[in-house]
Amino acid sequence: MTPTRSWWRTALGLVFTALMLFPVYWMINVSLTRTSDLRRNPPHWFPWDPTFEGYAAVFDQQLPALGTSLLIGGGCVLLTLLVSAPAGYALALLHLRGGGTLNFVLLVAQMIPAVVMAMGFYAVYVRLDLLNTVWGLIVADSTIAVPFGVLLFTAFMSGIPKEMLQAARIDGAGAWRTFRSIVLPLSRNSILTVSLFAFLWAWSDFIFASTLNRNGDLIPITLSIYAYIGNNTTQWNSIMATAVVASIPAAVLLVVAQRYVAAGVTAGAVKD
Amino acid sequence: MTSSPAAVGTASSAAGVAARRSAAPAGPRPPRRSTPSTQWAAVAFAAPLIVYLVVFYAYPLFRNIELSVHDYTIRAFVQGDAEFIGFEKYADVFASSAFPTALVNTALFTFVSIAFQYTIGLALAVFFQKSFRLSGVLRGMFLVPWLLPLIVSASTWSWMLNSDSGIINSVLQSFGIGQINWLTSPDFALTSVIIANIWLGIPFNLVILYSGLQNIPGELYEAASLDGATGWQQFWRITFPLLRPVSAITILLGLIYTLKVVDVIWIMTTGGPGNVSTTLAVWSYREAFGTGQPAFSPAAAVGNLLILIALVFGFVYLYLQRRQEES
């Protein structure tokens, strides 16, 4: 490929990316716009005279919601890992009888609409008095990540060389010790990938939060933004500032872990 | 606890620790080549998942079916004394005037979204197929819309599409097009949510199709260009046919995801004005949680219909995936 042709592609790629990311740019732009300029026509295309009043409002009002979301995300990661990593081990390496059926159930589970799950959980939580609790929301959010986690762990762990496991067995290691000392350390990247997605999905969840935690004392950031939009439609700079802050985990994920994101997506492809 | 012969037999202290720990979750006897005890260990390791699936998937789904065949009011909900009414709520749903609208909207929302997401995603995947300076970074940037919380994207689109102060109307105005009430006019509300949803789905299509393209051998293109095939011919003769299995899976997964979408529509238009942008999923959500008076029974009935539709596409997907793995 000639250098001129490749330069041309880079330029075109930049244009495409700019078009695609325009809404993200616009969110940041609006978040820095003064309230008096919000209704200007035409709007400012660039925040020449930025204001941080929107962000001040975020730190004033949204810190508890951000903390709640962190807690829910963290709890969801733990629960997901605790359930899915051992299950992946059983399916991939211990040749669980009925493993095929279990895999099938997991695939079907991923197809169930969240709104249906939300109603089911609501009906269950009403009786158990778990509505409007952080724990209830952690459990509900984890249902998005657990099937994915099990499938990813199974795919990865099937690739662990059988000789290593045999060597461990000859040294007298049992199933648990093999899992802890060999399989888990080797699966570090899968653990990271599953954790990242479990956190991001819990952090981003709106449906479960808006149904199971509508009147809670501790509401997550997504619900907080939604309430903001409903109450206060003139302060779009504050709403967009909150949205920018709520996007930070996604940005971190992309910068720090793009490799693992790719791993998560291609995991299905490398399977067997 | 002390009776873990295989592990203790190694006499190393670390193994001793492991043996003691192994008693709790993995069943008592670390196995040595004996299949039945390996099975016990397998069951023990899978047990959390099996319990989890029963308690947090099967039971809520069962409750959902139960909701749809009883006449639940909010009081009956708490007291648990709802009257059994069989399939009456399903009949009500089918007879409701909202049903045909929701069905057509679901079909439009799903198929139009998928058509554009796939076409644009494929075009971009082909564009990124040949690496150029910055291509990796730019491809990474394309993931952003996919990773953002939906409330963030949906509220940003709402503001961009705002009738009076939105950037989109402002741009259109400079081309002499008058104000369009994107979110509040019956003519445009569905279009608006579809546009936002297309934007959201492009990254997913790009990622999967791009990884599919990586599996097409480069020699095919070299041979084709030696034979004088143009880029356009290469795409239609090589890329598109060889990508067909990946395309099928991308589109079906897209269908299953798009059928379930509630958040984007709910945040942007709440399914309105009227029922103009109401899909089955949104309808179900609105009946159960969107109004002051929750009507769980019809909501559950609509939700169960949605599961059925999703499962039909789901089984086609599983069938195609299996066939692809066999080949």
B81 within a domain of the structure (yes/no): no
The size of chain B, in residues, is 327
Whole-number pLDDT of residue B160: 92
Whole-number pLDDT of residue B284: 92
Q: CA distances (Å), B6 to each of A174, A177, A263, B235, in order?
A: 7, 12, 37, 60
B79 within a domain of the structure (yes/no): no
Q: Which of B285, B265, B290 is nearest to B113 (CA)?
A: B265
The domain spanning residue B308 has which CATH number? 1.10.3720.10
Query: What is the rounded distance in angstroms from the CA atom of residue B251 to the CA atom of residue A266?
Result: 17
Q: Which of A165, A179, A177 is nearest to B13 (CA)?
A: A177
Question: Looking at the structure, do residues B119 and B228 belong to the same domain, yes or no?
Answer: yes
Dig out the tokens for B323 from the structure: 């066939």
Query: What is the rounded distance in angstroms from the CA atom of residue A93 to the CA atom of residue B315?
Result: 27
B12 within a domain of the structure (yes/no): yes
Whole-number pLDDT of residue B35: 65
Domain stop point among B47, B68, B89: B68
- Give the residue numbers spanning the domain of B11: 5-68
Question: Looking at the structure, do residues B137 and B29 belong to the same domain, yes or no?
Answer: no
Question: Looking at the structure, do residues B57 and B117 belong to the same domain, yes or no?
Answer: no
Question: Looking at the structure, do residues B256 and B139 belong to the same domain, yes or no?
Answer: yes
Dig out the tokens for B249 from the structure: 């899976």
Q: Which residues contact A256 (CB under 8 A, 6 or more apart)?
A: none
Residue A48 confidence (pLDDT) above 90: no
Query: What is the rounded distance in angstroms from the CA atom of residue A56 to the CA atom of residue A53?
Result: 5
* Chain centroid, CA B92 distance in Å: 28
Q: Which of A197, A268, A89, A120 is nearest to B58 (CA)?
A: A120
Domain stop point among B25, B49, B68: B68
How many structural domains comprise chain B?
A: 2
Contacts of A113 in chain B (CB under 8 A): 259-260, 262, 281, 284, 303, 306-307, 310
B92 within a domain of the structure (yes/no): no
Question: Looking at the structure, do residues B143 and B232 belong to the same domain, yes or no?
Answer: yes
Question: Looking at the structure, do residues B143 and B284 belong to the same domain, yes or no?
Answer: yes
Question: Looking at the structure, do residues B189 and B307 belong to the same domain, yes or no?
Answer: yes
Dihedrals φ, ψ of B70, to 5°?
-120, 165
Q: B69-78 long-range CB contacts below 8 Å, 24 or more apart?
A: B70/B297, B71/B297, B72/B296, B72/B297, B74/B293, B74/B294, B77/A123, B77/A126, B77/B294, B77/B296, B78/A126
Whole-number pLDDT of residue B199: 95
Helix (H, G, I), strand (E, B) or coil at A211: helix
- What digits encode the pLDDT tens for the residues A202-211? 999 999 999 9
Query: What is the rounded distance in angstroms from the CA atom of residue B236 to the CA atom of residue B224?
Result: 12
Query: What is the rounded distance in angstroms from the CA atom of residue B102 to the CA atom of residue B100?
Result: 5
B240 within a domain of the structure (yes/no): yes
Contacts of A247 in chain B (CB under 8 A): 148-149, 152
Q: Which of A271, A69, A260 is nearest to A150 (CA)?
A: A271
B84 within a domain of the structure (yes/no): no
Beta-ladder partners of A44? none
Q: CA distances (Å), B88 to each of A120, A123, B77, B291, in order?
A: 20, 20, 18, 22
Question: Looking at the structure, do residues B187 and B277 belong to the same domain, yes or no?
Answer: yes
- What digits encode the pLDDT tens for the residues B5-16? 322 222 233 333
Contacts of B31 in chain A (CB under 8 A): 174-175
Question: Looking at the structure, do residues B210 and B292 belong to the same domain, yes or no?
Answer: yes
Question: Looking at the structure, do residues B19 and B160 belong to the same domain, yes or no?
Answer: no
Give residue A54's pLDDT band: very low, low, confident or very high (50, 70, 90): confident
Query: What is the rounded distance in angstroms from the CA atom of residue A196 to the CA atom of residue A253?
Result: 7
Domains of chain A, first to last: 54-270 (1.10.3720.10)
B82 within a domain of the structure (yes/no): no
Asked if B276 and B183 touch (Cβ cutoff 8 Å), the reply is no
Query: What is the rounded distance in angstroms from the CA atom of residue B95 to the CA atom of residue B51?
Result: 39
Handedness of CA A259, A261, A263, A266 (dihedral sign): negative
ipTM for this model: 0.87
The percentage of residues in chain B with a pLDDT greater than 70, rounded to a whole number, is 88
Subunit contact B21:A27, Cβ cutoff 8 A: no
- What digits encode the pLDDT tens for the residues A219-240? 899 998 888 887 756 788 888 9
B167 within a domain of the structure (yes/no): yes
Dihedrals φ, ψ of A48, to 5°?
-60, -35
Name which residue leads in pLDDT, A87 or B67. Answer: A87
A&B contacts, CB < 8 Å: 325
Subunit contact A172:B6, Cβ cutoff 8 A: yes
Helices marked H in B96-184 — which ranges? 98-129, 135-141, 144-147, 150-160, 167-174
Q: Confirm or reject contact between B325 and chain A (CB < 8 A).
A: yes
Whole-number pLDDT of residue A216: 79
Q: Confirm or reject contact between A127 and chain B (CB < 8 A).
A: yes
Which residue type does A272 have? D
